[in-house]
């Protein structure tokens, strides 16, 4: 029969389109109940999945979770747990544990039992006692609220130094907020700050904090997924703010001009005797890097390290060396974990906990080198395991030697989040413990910082940094290597001329091109407590940036001629 032919006899249509197959029959009561339970469970699972992924609103009449958090019985436990709750809890806890064993039930939860006992003890207190505890709680709450309101009412300082520090540390406070919003609403979050940036010399710039990535096998954040659109958004913010700042002023008279950051230096020739080993002031050491093109993750790391902005200048030098080291490597994400034995447990907790810079781990036993089990002694044990084989431990002092020849290959690979960043983070927490507690003797921390800075300096300038081979890593390297120093022309001229004078007045050196040690070894030049050969120093210091101003290029040409002359005399 063809498809378009009619049937010989018409088949009557069913009276009920939803009628069951007559052969199926009715379900048994047990089967109907079983299917109903399955349907109910599936419905619940679907609802849970939907609420977990799309964050449904709070149901009407649902219990307020803050009510329990602020309840009076918890405050009662805080004040009187030892004498009124603990004895009763210990008896109840033993009974609950024994009962669970006898009946072969699941072991009870201690927190739940303690809460039930506390509530019961609170209910049995007299009304006068309850009123007293409630009054104390309300008084404490009022004091805290008043202090918070007074803090809000205080006028925020708009001094350039404080604004610079606030913007620089913004990521430490805004990143957790962005992460919470992203997790709560399941959306990507971008917080963009636009205004004068101290690290850019006061030029208008954009700082951004991101949370959330695109879906798929290769998740990306906004600035990586759509770089053109992101740059357009940044440019739009620039235009809006520049128009606001450059627009016509109102009739209000101009106020007092801001004070200058430093006294102008006379423009005379600097003599070697007047120069310091580190001519850049400590407050300028944190402003030398132009981080406008810096990757976001590296910017967050630098902001965290800037907590020690007022610490000794050794820390600022170490951070600067680290930033240069990461720039040379491109801050790669595809590097393996560093080797070594005995990595600090605090470092492991920090990495597995999401690298929360705003919440550093607590050091319980700081101690010092030689005190077994202390943080300082464990730190040195870990640091020694990362060193080249040529370094040996002095049994008397516990410090490591600095041979004239070392193989730097092991240290040149310690880039990225699995490299020197972990070492500097451990020193950051050490320093916070020392300086925030007002420690009188910080020499142990200073020795550790100096040793790391020396080895990082050698890995960067005397070794060959293992740059990332991935395309993303190379792009980051190109961006980070675009940094320019922010020293003024007078400071740069004095610094370069002074270095040339030191090189000319120094002793002759040998042919060893990889020598580096501490102290004053014959045949080398002392630079920030280290001795390196003349050729390596000249090669490091006389690199010319063709993008510099003409006057700066002239200073560099002068420095290069002086260094070349010193090398020819050898």
Per-residue pLDDT tens for 456-490?
888 888 776 665 444 554 454 444 444 333 333 34
| 469/330 Cα distance (integer angstroms) | 9
Q: Where are the domains of the chain?
A: 65-146, 160-243, 282-480, 489-569
DSSP secondary structure, 457-517, as one string: HHHHHTS------SHHHHHHHHHHTT------HHHHHHHHHHHHHHHHHSPP--S-TT-EE
Closest CA to 551 of 150, 267, 347: 267
pLDDT band for 503, please (50, 70, 90 cuts).
Answer: very low
Rounded to whole angstroms, the Cα distance separating 520 from 527 reads 10
**Nearest CA among 417, 428, 456 for reference residue 324:** 456
Mean pLDDT of the chain: 70
Burial (CB < 10 A; 0-12, 13-18, 19+), residue 547, is exposed
pLDDT tops 70 at residue 532: no
- CA–centroid distance for 405 within its chain: 35
Of 73-77, 292-296, 403-407, give the lowest mean pLDDT range.
292-296
Distance CA 117, CA 121 (A): 6
Identify the CA nearest to 377 among candidates 392, 387, 366. 366
DSSP states of 279-339 = -S-HHHHTTS---TT--HHHHHHHHHHGGGTTS-HHHHHHHHHHHHHHHHHT--S-PPPP-
The predicted structure's pLDDT at residue 513: 35
- The pLDDT of residue 153 is 58
* Cα-based distances in Å from 31 to 18, 23, 27: 21, 17, 6
* Residue 418 φ then ψ, to 5°: -100, 10
Q: Identify whether the C-beta of residue 288 lies closer than 8 Å to the C-beta of residue 486.
A: yes
Is residue 492 a contact partner of residue 545, using CB atoms and an 8 Å limit? no
390, containing H or E segment: none
Task: Give the tens place of pLDDT for each residue, 129-173.
Answer: 999 999 998 888 888 888 877 766 555 566 777 777 778 788 787
Whether 328 contacts 462, CB under 8 Å: no
Q: Give the chain's end-to-end CA distance (angstroms, integer).
A: 109
Residue with tokens 């290769």: 218
Residue 102's pLDDT band, with cuts at 50, 70 and 90, is confident
- Residue pair 413/466 in contact by the 8 Å Cβ criterion: yes
Q: Is the pLDDT of residue 428 over 90?
A: yes
Supply the pLDDT for residue 171: 79
Could you give the CA distance from residue 304 to residue 360 in angstroms, rounded to a whole number? 10
Quick one: pLDDT at residue 172?
A: 80
Lowest mean pLDDT among 3-12, 73-82, 115-124, 546-555: 546-555
Residue 466's nearest CA partner among 330, 340, 322 is 330
Q: Is the pLDDT of residue 116 over 60?
A: yes
Cα distances (angstroms) measured from residue 483 to each of 328, 405, 437, 506: 11, 31, 35, 31
- Of 140-154, 274-288, 312-326, least confident by mean pLDDT is 274-288
Confidence of residue 191 (pLDDT cuts 50, 70, 90): very high
Residue 86: the pLDDT is 92
Range among 151-155, 252-256, 274-278 rated most confident? 151-155
For 205-260, give the DSSP string.
EEEEEEE---SSSS---HHHH-HHHHHHHHHHHHHHHHHHHHSPP-SSPP-PPPPP
Least confident segment among 31-40, 43-52, 65-74, 453-462: 65-74
> pLDDT at residue 302 above 90?
no
Q: What is the DSSP string of 543-555?
A: ---TTS-HHHHHH
Average pLDDT of span 377-386: 88
SS3 527: strand
**Measured in whole angstroms, how far is the alpha carbon of residue 226 from the centre of its chain?**
24
Among 1-5, 10-14, 196-200, 260-264, the minimum mean pLDDT is found in: 260-264
Dihedral angle, C-alpha 434, 300, 193, 313, nearest 10 °: 50
How high is the pLDDT of residue 165? 78
| Nearest CA among 519, 567, 520, 517 for reference residue 541 | 567
């Amino acid at each position: 029969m063809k498809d378009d032919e009619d049937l010989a006899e018409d088949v009557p249509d069913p009276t009920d389109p939803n009628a069951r197959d007559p052969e199926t029959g009715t379900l048994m009561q047990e089967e109907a109940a079983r299917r109903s339970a399955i349907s109910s469970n599936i419905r619940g699972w679907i609802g849970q999945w939907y609420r977990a992924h799309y964050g449904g609103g709070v149901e009407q009449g649902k219990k307020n979770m803050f009510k329990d958090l602020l309840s009076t019985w918890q405050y009662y436990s805080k004040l009187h747990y030892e004498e009124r709750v603990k004895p009763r809890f210990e008896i109840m806890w033993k009974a609950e544990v024994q009962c669970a064993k006898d009946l072969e039930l699941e072991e009870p939860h201690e927190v739940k039992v303690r809460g039930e006992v506390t509530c019961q003890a609170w209910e049995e207190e007299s009304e006068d006692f309850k009123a007293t505890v409630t009054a104390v709680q309300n008084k404490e709450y009022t004091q805290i609220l008043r202090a918070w309101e007074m803090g809000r009412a205080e006028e925020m300082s708009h001094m350039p130094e404080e604004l610079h520090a606030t913007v620089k540390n913004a990521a430490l406070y805004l990143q957790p907020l962005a992460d919470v919003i992203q997790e709560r609403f399941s959306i990507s979050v971008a917080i963009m700050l636009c205004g004068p940036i101290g690290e850019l010399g006061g030029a208008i710039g954009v700082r951004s904090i991101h949370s959330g990535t695109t879906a798929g096998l290769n998740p990306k954040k906004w600035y990586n997924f759509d770089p053109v659109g992101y740059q357009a958004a940044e440019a739009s913010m620039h235009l809006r703010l520049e128009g606001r700042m450059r627009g016509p002023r109102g009739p209000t008279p101009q106020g007092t001009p801001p004070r200058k950051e430093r006294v102008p230096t006379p423009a005379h020739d600097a003599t070697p005797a007047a120069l310091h080993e580190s001519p850049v002031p400590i407050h300028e050491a944190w402003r030398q890097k132009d981080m406008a093109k810096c990757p976001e993750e590296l910017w967050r790391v630098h902001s965290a390290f800037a907590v020690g902005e007022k610490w000794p200048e050794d820390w600022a030098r170490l951070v600067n060396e680290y930033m240069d080291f990461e720039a040379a490597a491109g801050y790669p994400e595809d590097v393996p974990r560093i080797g070594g034995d005995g990595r600090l447990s605090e470092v492991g907790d920090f990495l597995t906990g999401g690298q929360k810079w705003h919440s550093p781990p607590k050091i319980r036993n700081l101690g010092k080198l030689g005190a077994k089990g202390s943080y300082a002694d464990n730190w040195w044990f870990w640091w020694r395991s990362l060193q080249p084989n040529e370094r040996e431990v002095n049994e008397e002092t516990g410090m490591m030697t600095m041979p004239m020849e070392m193989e730097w290959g092991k240290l040149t690979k310690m880039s990225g989040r699995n490299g020197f960043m972990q070492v500097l983070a451990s020193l950051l927490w050490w320093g916070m413990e020392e300086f925030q507690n007002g420690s009188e003797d910080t020499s142990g921390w200073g020795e550790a910082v100096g040793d790391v800075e020396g080895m990082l300096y050698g890995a960067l300038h005397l070794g060959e940094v293992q740059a990332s081979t991935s395309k993303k890593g190379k792009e980051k390297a190109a961006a980070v290597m675009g940094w320019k120093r922010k020293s003024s022309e007078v400071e740069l001229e004095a610094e370069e001329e002074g270095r040339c004078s030191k090189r000319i007045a120094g002793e002759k050196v040998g042919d060893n091109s990889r020598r580096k040690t501490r102290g004053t070894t014959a045949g080398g030049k002392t630079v920030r407590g280290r001795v390196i050969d003349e050729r390596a120093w000249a090669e490091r210091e006389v690199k010319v940036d063709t993008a510099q101003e003409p006057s700066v290029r002239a200073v560099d040409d002068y420095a290069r001629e002086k260094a070349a002359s010193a090398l020819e005399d050898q």
